[in-house]
């Protein structure tokens, strides 16, 4: 990428990096590390024409995602703290990554 003076790096973090909930300390810490790594990497590689971004989705409506949300109060909390105020759909993740790679 440096030799070509062009590149796109997209890291996957999580809403937990900024709004983790109870019982998520280990997950929130690891996703915060991804966000920090992304920030520093963008500074290091920007002069080479390489962009570095992170996608931070909230809870995605999948079997795994919904395992964390059996309590309606937790669903309401996560809907409140996400930018779009709703749970995410699997196809939305692909769109966000594709936009950043153009």
Residues with a known catalytic role: 27
Q: Give dist(CA 68, CA 63) in Å, integer.
A: 9
Q: DSSP 3-state assignment of 84?
A: coil
Q: Give dist(CA 69, CA 73) in Å, integer.
A: 8
What would the two tokens of residue 53 be? 């971004």
What would the two tokens of residue 26 be? 């280990």
């Amino acid at each position: 990428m440096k030799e070509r003076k062009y590149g796109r790096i997209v890291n996957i973090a999580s809403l937990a990096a900024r709004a983790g909930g109870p019982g998520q300390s280990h997950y929130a810490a690891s996703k915060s590390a991804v966000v920090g790594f992304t920030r520093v990497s963008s500074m290091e590689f920007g002069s080479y024409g390489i962009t570095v971004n992170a996608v931070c989705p909230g809870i995605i409506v999948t079997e795994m995602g919904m395992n964390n949300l059996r309590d309606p109060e937790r669903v309401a909390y996560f809907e409140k703290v996400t930018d779009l105020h709703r749970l995410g759909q699997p196809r939305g993740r692909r769109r966000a990554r594709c936009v950043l790679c153009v």
